[in-house]
Amino acid sequence: MAVFANTYLLQTKQPVFDAKSMLWPVHMWQVYTNSPKGRKLNVFEKTILQLFKVSDKRSLSHDDIGKWLGLESDMVSYIIAAQLIPNGWLTEKGKITESALKMLDEKPSENLTTAYVFQCAITKQWLPRVCFDLNEIYSNNVSGNPRFKFKRESDYESRPFVINTKNVNVQPPREQDLKSIAIDYQEAIYVAQNTRDNDEWKPQQSSFDKLTLVDSSHEAVYLTVWGDTQTSFEWTLYDPFGVSTKSTWMKELFKHGCKANKGLGQMAVSELGSVDANMSYEEACASFAETAKFDLLVKYPNTDKITGLTDVLFEMVEAHKRITHERNTSQKIPHNSAKAKLIVSCGQVLEVICEHLLKEYELTDSHRLPKPHTKNGTEIISHLIVEATNMSVDMLAESTRVQPSRVYSAAIGKNSSLRAQLVAIFISMATHREHPMKFLLDDETYFKDFYSLTFLRDDCAHKKPPAVSLDTANNAVDLIQTFVTKLFNGI
């Protein structure tokens, strides 16, 4: 088969030490964006305001707006409460203001920016990303399988798995395709801004009205995609553009790709380990998942009652097993990246649990929480925590080391940081006096160790994590095991 492309893109560096690289075939189109000058309305805010404008005196429910825009009602409520009303674009009674009307009536700027969109050449799916800067890399091998030196300080050459496919039946994106790409991309940027620190990622451009195709011509390119099989019963895929970390959409694209491309499917199964080579990728994952679920339920009964908990606990347990095995068999200190990844896995267990608790034990008066433009946000959440708990002064100081406006996102079930989730849970205890996580407040030493782990988790998620000792890694796992046990005793 002829080589699909001779152009290779690397839009994000290797996310974790164990990640393997693949060259994914995509079709690339050039687009341009018209960016508004002096405006701060994103696509969601603008559309919601337009709906209020045309509705006149008729009432609009957040549920209806959500259905029209393809958003959840809670997200609509958040945009209105946290952005439109505080910025003076909408009144408390749902009336659009004069300043908002002027912004809506302004003609789009002619300030154009070039960007790129991509279509998977295997499945024909559009990637939910917009790229403004291409980072082309060049193979050290002029013939045969491409080789790359991804790290300047190392002489090691990486040989990515090359996914070949036929370059046929290529159609340019329709207007609706471009609209969907823009919405998905802007929502991903919004999530990243609310969940990731600026030193974890490079903030991306997202303020534009629409995407417009430059012309119908396209270029076939290989996009570097990263994945690993070290801590899960299936492949873990990462966002090839670095906006998010572990990528749900890339994982789904990988599954579809394994079905449609025999070579990819065979490679995916072989990397999972000791399984029947005749199994499909999905069959192999299901087999591993069943075994993992049984093993975890023996050690952690009832974990299947919380959606997603089995997966993240499995990841933590497997990462800890590998570190312990390497230490015991080779007498070598495991690589720091493996220990840092274990710490991140511990944090993911807490995030899944906190998200579940905020649904089951809802914070009913979330309107009292500070919004992005609220003054004295820390004082407000401190007051609400004191009202709800008997937390000591030192514990209160620890728990309020968080961006106050993120607590609202956590309370309504939107993407937010772990410590914002914890604050929302503490405040919800005013309503739920028998909250299953109240045990966390009973032991101040455990509480401080718990919070130290949340901060260490953030540090370990960075591209250059701090040195993590073996004792620290072991203590983190012990802390999570204690947390899970006590939690289910309360539930």
Domain boundaries, the chain: 8-35+111-272, 43-105, 299-490
Q: How far is CA 326 from the centre of its chain?
A: 30
Looking at 3.40.50.10070, 1.20.120.530, 3.40.50.300, 1.10.10.10, the CATH number of the domain 43-105 comes to: 1.10.10.10
Cα–Cα dist 20/158, whole Å: 9
Burial string for 14-36 (b: 16+ CB within 10 Å, else e) reads: bbbebbbbbbbbbbbbebebebb
Question: How far, in Å, CA of 65 to CA of 47, rounded?
Answer: 9
From residue 128, give the alpha-carbon distance in Å to each of 28, 77, 133: 13, 24, 16
Comparing CA positions, the residue from 342, 343, 344, 323 lying closest to residue 334 is 323
Query: How far is residue 461's CA from residue 447's CA, in Å, rounded to a whole number?
Result: 22
Residue 417 Rama label (left phi>0; alpha psi -120 to 50; beta): beta
pLDDT of 78? 80
Closest CA to 399 of 415, 421, 370: 421
Tokens of 381: 């959440």
User: Which residues lie across from 325 on neighbouring strands?
Assistant: none
CA dihedral (452, 458, 459, 460) positive or negative: positive
- pLDDT given for residue 39 in this prediction: 47
What is the pLDDT at residue 118? 98
Among 263, 23, 27, 6, residue whose Cα is nearest residue 167: 27
* Beta pairing, strands 136-137 & 236-237: unpaired
- Cβ-in-10-Å burial (0-12, 13-18, 19+) of 474 comes to middle
What was the pLDDT predicted at 107? 58
Identity (one letter) of the amino acid at 77?
S
- Whether the CB-CB separation of 488 and 301 falls below 8 Å is answered with yes
pTM: 0.63
pLDDT in the model for residue 197 = 63
Question: What's the pLDDT score for residue 1?
Answer: 46
What is the reported pLDDT for 300? 82
To the nearest 10 degrees (0 to 180), the angle between helices 336-360 and 309-330 is 160
Pairwise CA distance, residues 137 & 130, whole Å: 19
Q: What angle do CA 426, 432, 434 make, to 5 degrees?
A: 100
Q: How far apart are CA 315 and CA 320, in angstroms?
A: 9
Torsion angle in degrees (nearest 10) through CA of 60, 62, 67, 73: 180
Written as six digits, the tokens of 251 are 């994982």
Report the distance separating Cα 245 and Cα 247, nearest Å. Answer: 6
5 with 323: CB under 8 angstroms? no
Query: Would you write out the chain's pLDDT as a tens digit for each of its 491 residues?
Result: 457 898 999 999 888 778 899 999 999 999 988 754 444 567 788 888 888 888 766 677 888 888 887 777 778 888 888 778 877 788 877 788 887 887 777 655 556 788 999 999 999 999 999 999 899 998 887 666 898 887 766 777 889 999 988 877 789 999 999 999 999 998 888 888 777 765 566 666 777 878 999 888 899 999 999 998 876 778 989 999 999 888 999 999 999 999 999 999 999 988 887 667 788 888 888 887 777 777 777 888 888 889 989 888 988 988 888 888 777 776 677 888 889 989 999 999 999 999 999 999 999 888 899 987 788 999 999 999 999 998 999 999 999 999 898 899 899 887 678 999 999 999 999 999 999 999 999 999 999 999 999 999 988 887 788 999 999 999 999 999 999 999 998 87
Q: What is the dihedral of CA 397, 403, 405, 408, to 10 degrees?
A: -70
